[in-house]
Amino acid sequence: MSLQARTVDEFVAGRREEDRISVGRACVLRAAGRPPVHSALLDLTRHGCRIRTGHPLAVGESVRLGLAGVGTIEASVVWSEGTQYGCEFIGSLRPGAVSDATRGNVVNFDVSPAAKRFKWSPRQRVLTLAAYALTPWLAIGAAVLLFRAH
């Protein structure tokens, strides 16, 4: 079922009490036994949200979402479509929380993974240190051989 069809079905069924608010901000997804993952919060109501993440989730799985301007809230995955997931909050957000999540005082950040810092292997470090230690001795040895030849 497409996302538009699902939204229409929910509207017709009268299940959704409030309009979804498009957010388009980053959030932090925490699933049991897995490290936190930066994800995208696509839309939000007081009772649930839609997120996009590369982290596979199962329908019925419990997660915790860190939402800027709101805090951390527990939710249950109720549907999935590709990399998008619908989550229903275990408890409703406080009044005004949706507005807080969409205010301009919340800073957007890039949800792509940070580049890893270059780090030399232990072998490269030892070889570099040996080269720096040996170079002055080679220069001294060359100078001694030059002066002895004359």
Q: What is the rounded average pLDDT of the residues 11-35?
A: 73
Residues 6+ apart with CB under 8 A from 84: 3, 42, 50, 51, 52
Other Cβ atoms less than 10 A from the Cβ of 42: the count is 19
Element counts in the chain: helices (H) and strands (E):
3, 6
- Residue 89 vs residue 3, higher pLDDT: 89
Q: What is the rounded average pLDDT of the residues 27-40?
A: 88
> Given this model, what pLDDT does residue 99 score?
76
- Quickly tell me which residue has 């608010």 as its tokens: 21
Contact indicator for 92, 48 with CB cutoff of 8 Å? no
> Given this model, what pLDDT does residue 97 score?
77
> Given this model, what pLDDT does residue 103 score?
72
Residue 10 has pLDDT above 90, yes or no: no
pTM over 0.75: no
Q: How confident is the model at residue 14 (pLDDT cuts 50, 70, 90)?
A: very low
> Given this model, what pLDDT does residue 87 score?
92
* Measured CA distances, 37 to 31, 62, 85, 111, 122 (Å): 9, 15, 14, 9, 30
Q: How confident is the model at residue 107 (pLDDT cuts 50, 70, 90)?
A: low
- Could you tell me the fold of the domain covering 3-102? Thrombin, subunit H (2.40.10)
> Given this model, what pLDDT does residue 92 score?
81
* Measured CA distances, 14 to 9, 10, 44, 89, 145 (Å): 9, 6, 17, 18, 95
The tens digit of pLDDT for each residue in 126-148 reads 999 999 999 999 999 999 998 88
